[in-house]
Amino acid sequence: MDNVASIFDRYETVRHRMPKARFGATTKAVDSLLDIAPDADAFVFDAYGVLNIGETPIAGAAQRIEQLRAAGKAIRILSNAASYTHDAATEKFCRLGIPVTPDEIVTSRDAAISGLGSGLWGCITAPADDLSDIDATICRLGDSVRDFDRVDSFLFLSTAAWTDARQDILARSLRTRPRPLIVANADLVAPREGGFSLEPGYYAHLLADANLGQLTYFGKPYPQVHQMIEATLPDTPPHRIIMCGDTLHTDILGAAARGWRTVLVTRDGLFAGTDTDSFCQRSAIHPDWRTERI
C-alpha cells in the first residue's frame, strides 16, 4: 500500500462494499475550474490532494476558491479527516490560508459521531484528540486487552497511534464477541508530505475480509456525508453540484452515486505522476472532467 498501483488494486478489491454509480465513457480535460463554472451552482472540494498535502497548502487553491466565490458559487469542503473536531478542521483550513466558515465544512467525523447511541464506546483516536464533541460514554483504547473486551461498540477515528499489535487485539476481541464498529474515515490511505499514510478504512476492510464485526463506514464514497452537504444546499439540484477530488473510488464514485458531477484533480494527490486514463479505464470510473489543479 505504498504506491498508486497497490492502493488502486486494494480499492478495486473492496469495491463491492461501496455504492454503485453510472458513468459516461469519456472525461474532458480542462485547464481549471473556471472553465466549468457555468455548469455549477456549488463546488465541493476534497481536502487532501486538492487543497492541501498534510500541513502544506497546494499553490493556487485558496485563490481559486475566492474566484469561484466571487462568481457566486457556493463553496463546501467534504473531508474524510476524522482525527480532529469540526472546529479544529475549520481552524486548520484558515491556518493554511484557505478561509472557510464552519457551515462550509462537512467531515466524515461529523457524520460518524451523530447519534452514536447508548453503551460504552471504545474510541480509537489520536492522542491529541480531546473527544470533546462526542456525546457518548467513551473509553479511549490503547494496549489494554481488557478495555477492548469490555466496550459495547467501537468508534475508529484515527490511525495516528494505531499499530499492528492493536489491530490484532481488536480482531481477537471482535472474534470472541462481535460488536458494532463505526469507521469514521473510509479512506484506505491519505497523501502526506512523505508518502501515504494508512487510514481507518484500510484496517476496517481487513476486519471485513475476515467477517469480523458489524461495520458501518462513514465518509466518501458512502452517502451520509453527501446527504449532509445536500442539506446545506437545499435549492441546488444534484447535477449542479460539482465534486473535486483526487481519488476515483472515494471522491468520484461517491459523488456520482448521488448524481453530482465530478472533477478528478491529478497533480498532487493519489495519482500524482501517473496516467489517470489507465486507472479510469480499468475501474470504469470516469469523472466528467480532469484538471491538474483546481
Measure the CA–CA gap between 111 and 81, rounded to whole angstroms.
11
Convert the pLDDT of each residue in 164-179 to its tens digit: 999 999 999 999 999 9
Strand partners, 290: 29, 264
pLDDT of residue 213: 86
E strand or H helix that includes residue 242 = strand 241-245
pTM above 0.85, yes or no: yes
CB 169 within 8 A of CB 181: no
Per-residue model confidence as pLDDT tens digits over 88-141: 999 999 999 998 999 999 999 999 999 898 999 999 999 999 999 999 999 999
Cell of 294: 483546481
Buried b / exposed e along 245-269 (16+ C-beta atoms within 10 A): bbbbbbbbbbbbbbebbbbbbbbbb
- The arithmetic mean of pLDDT across residues 142-152, rounded, is 98
